[in-house]
Chain A
Amino acid sequence: MRIDKPILIALILFITVLLAYFLVFPAYQKFKELQTELGIKQAEYNAEFDYYSSITRTYYDLKSYEEDVKIVDDALPSDPSFGRLIYYFQEQSSESGLILRDLFLSKSSGSSSKSAVKSLTFSLTLIGNYSSLENFLASLEKSAKLFEVTSISFGSGNASSQGTQFRTQNIFTFSLQVNTYIY
């Protein structure tokens, strides 16, 4: 059989163009994509490696500040430990010369999206004199655990005309609202 060359040439050229367009070009595109993906993966690997290196370093930094981290843990414990809190209020009030008459948990707020800190609000009713209250407040403010007195009210029928203003031995009933925090 005699082959008609010009037609054959055109046919082969056509097939070549088809192959180039439908096979070679997509394969080349895929090749480029894979090359980029490989580069990205390598960069990701390096970034991860650096990240974990710095994590390890920070971790050991934290360990070297163990004592200080403990202070933060004491100030923001992970559980409320109501038993210990009640004991603390009782102990501090008696050491300051006050009688703890009422104590109740009046409010408990959950953590927000910005912070994992939860606050607990206690209402305390204490009986004693003004100096004792001052001592009690000082002991709360000095405590390793964070306490914040948000409201204080007290009074008596008679003005304390002996001594200077509140500095008297008169017995008052103090109502306090105290905030503390857990994490």
Chain B
Amino acid sequence: MDFRTIFQFRSKKIWWLDVIFYFVVSLLVATILCYLVFIIKNVIQKKEIASVEDDLLTVGTAEQKDQEIQVILYRAKIQDFKNLIGDHEFASNTFSFLEDETQPNVWFKQFNLDQKSSQVQLTGEAEDMDAFSRQTATFEKNEYVKEVGTLNSSLSEGSTINFNFSLTLNPEIFSYLTNTKNKVKIQEEKIVDIISSSLSTVKVEQEEAGEEIIEEIGVIEKSNEKLIFAFDIPLDPEVVGFIDQSTHTILLNIPEKTDITRLVPTVIISDNATVYPESNIPQDFSKPVIYQVTAEDDSTQEYTVTVKFYQTEEQIQEEIEKAKQTSVVKIFLTVALVAFLTTVGLAIYLVAMKKGFLKTFRKNKK
């Protein structure tokens, strides 16, 4: 290896070595600057995160948290109620079944029903063997008898037949829908009572009943209820309006970039009340819109509807990705630019020095 080249670098004054030197210095400065920029940006982002965390704490008010407890409790309770009603069994159906399926010359002495195992133990008396055999056949053929188990019979002193049956019934017999050929004696009103217990069917009946009562009394008391219960926009995903009943404001949290000049809200209000503008009429929500609810007694209540934009998860992810790419490019360009400008500046300075321009300039100045 020729060490003279290295020696040359060390002993000779080479102008481009100065250029490289200043370039490297500017690179160092740019790196430090970059570091400072990131530190500042991180501090700003931490503040933003803290601010969003503070906002998060204010989302659920004490009232909303109470409502949440109630809603969760009732959701579970209604589900359990539904399951219980679905599995509810009616022991009385067994009697209706027996009454219908027993031969006229057969009588019972003992009756034991265990609903869980669907087992019925019957002890009784038949007029003769013919009546007993017909009774056995009737049970065997019946769709609600799964199995005729223990079967004992003996001739009594009075020439009647004493018997003992063990029947395994089809569990469907205990269902309230079972009609055992229209002979089950569950009264219709009982079924209506139970069905009406489910949340969906009762409303109409109550309204009719209410109307009847009003007609009977002859006095119509006008309602003063004028609430907006729900304010939804059928977008994808559906926008559910946040209704504050204390301040009578409705806040719509709408995805960014949605056209809000022609949104069609669905408004659900108190019974017998009216709302203006009406439900399902397009509205321009670029400014707050006032909805006026008029109760049956003509009293009114105004609700102010405002829109707040939010970013969907996809939009946020997209922006994060974009920001990441942009910031890397920006940093790279900044470093390159700073290094380039510094180098160019220094190069010009060195060239000027070498050619003695500056000396001349200084002399002239003097």
Binding site for B on A (CB under 8 A): 4-6, 8-9, 12-13, 15-16, 19-20, 23-24, 27-28, 30-32, 34-39, 41-46, 48-50, 52-65, 67-69, 71-72, 75-76, 115-117, 134, 137-138, 141-142, 144, 146, 148-161, 164-167, 181, 183
Within the assembled complex, what's the spacing in Å between the Cα atoms of A145 and B111? 27
Q: List 30 A-B contacts (CB under 8 A).
A: A12-B24, A12-B27, A13-B27, A28-B331, A30-B38, A31-B42, A31-B327, A34-B42, A34-B45, A35-B320, A38-B45, A38-B48, A39-B319, A42-B310, A52-B242, A53-B242, A60-B227, A68-B203, A72-B77, A75-B197, A76-B84, A138-B186, A142-B193, A150-B116, A153-B110, A153-B113, A155-B109, A156-B110, A165-B98, A181-B84
Check A155 against B110 for contact (C-beta < 8 Å). yes
Which chain B residues lie closer than 8 Å to A153 at the CB level?
110-113
Question: Contacts of B199 on A, CB cut-off 8 Å?
Answer: 65, 68-69, 72
State in angstroms the CA–CA spacing of A44 and B54 once bound together: 12
10 extra A-B contacts, CB within 8 A, seeds A30-B38, A46-B253, A148-B89? A6-B6, A6-B17, A16-B27, A43-B313, A60-B230, A62-B74, A71-B202, A141-B92, A159-B125, A160-B108
Please, which residues of chain A bring their CB within 8 A of the CB of B88? 146, 148
| Chain A CB within 8 A of B344 CB | no
Q: How far is the CA of A63 from the CA of B88 in the complex (A)?
A: 27
Contact status A116-B80, CB under 8 Å: yes
* B18 sits at the interface (CB 8 A): yes
Check: B236 CB closer than 8 A to any chain A CB.
no
Q: Which of A15, A36, A41, A52 contacts B53 (CB 8 A)?
A: A41
Q: A55 contacts B114, CB within 8 Å?
A: no
Please tell me if the beta carbons of B28 and A53 are within 8 angstroms of each other in the complex: no
B115 partner residues in chain A, CB cutoff 8 A: 148-151
CB <8 Å contact, A55 and B316: no
Q: A49-B253, A55-B71 are in contact. Are A137 and B48 (CB under 8 A)?
A: no
Q: Are A76 and B108 in contact (CB under 8 A)?
A: no
Is there contact, CB below 8 Å, between A57 and B46? no
Counting from the closest, the 10 A-B pairs by CB-CB distance are A155-B110, A27-B38, A159-B107, A149-B91, A159-B125, A53-B242, A59-B67, A34-B45, A153-B112, A137-B92
Cβ-defined contact, B108 with A166, below 8 A? yes
Chain B residue, CB-CB nearest to A136 = B92
CA distance A164 to B110 in the complex (A): 15
Contact with A along B31-53 (1 / 0, CB 8 A): 11011001101100110110011
Does B20 belong to the interface (CB within 8 Å)?
Answer: yes
Given A42-B311, A57-B230, A148-B89, A30-B42 contact (CB < 8 Å): yes
Q: Which of B56-64, B139-147, B273-281, B355-363 contacts A (4 or more CB under 8 A)?
A: B56-64
Q: Cβ of B70 < 8 Å from any Cβ of A?
A: yes
Chain B: interface size category: 35 or more
| Residues of chain A with a CB closer than 8 A to B206's CB | 67
List the B residue with the shortest CB-CB distance to A158: B109
**CB contact under 8 A between A53 and B241, given known A31-B41, A46-B310, A58-B71:** yes
**Bound state CA distance, A53 and B240, in angstroms?**
6
A-B Cβ contacts below 8 A, count: 257
A117 surroundings in chain B (CB, below 8 A): 80, 84
Contact B110 A138, beta carbon cutoff 8 Å = no
A141 and B190 contacting across the interface, CB-CB below 8 Å = yes
CB of B285 within 8 Å of the partner chain: no
In the docked arrangement, what's the CA distance between A169 and B45, Å? 87
B window 96-133: CB within 8 A of A: 98-99, 102, 104, 106-116, 123-125
How far apart are the CA atoms of A134 and B64 in the complex, in Å?
49
Residues from chain B with a CB closer than 8 A to the CB of A20 are 31
B354 contacts chain A at the CB level, 8 A cutoff? no
Q: Which chain A residues border B243 with CB–CB below 8 Å?
A: 56-57, 60
CB–CB B52/A38 < 8 A: yes
Q: Which residues of B contact A35 (CB under 8 A)?
A: 45, 320, 323-324
Tell me if B111 and A155 are in contact (CB < 8 A): yes
Rounded to whole angstroms, the CA-CA distance of A181 and B39 in the bound complex is 63
Q: B residues within 8 A CB of A50?
A: 240, 253
Residue of B nearest to A168 (CB): B107
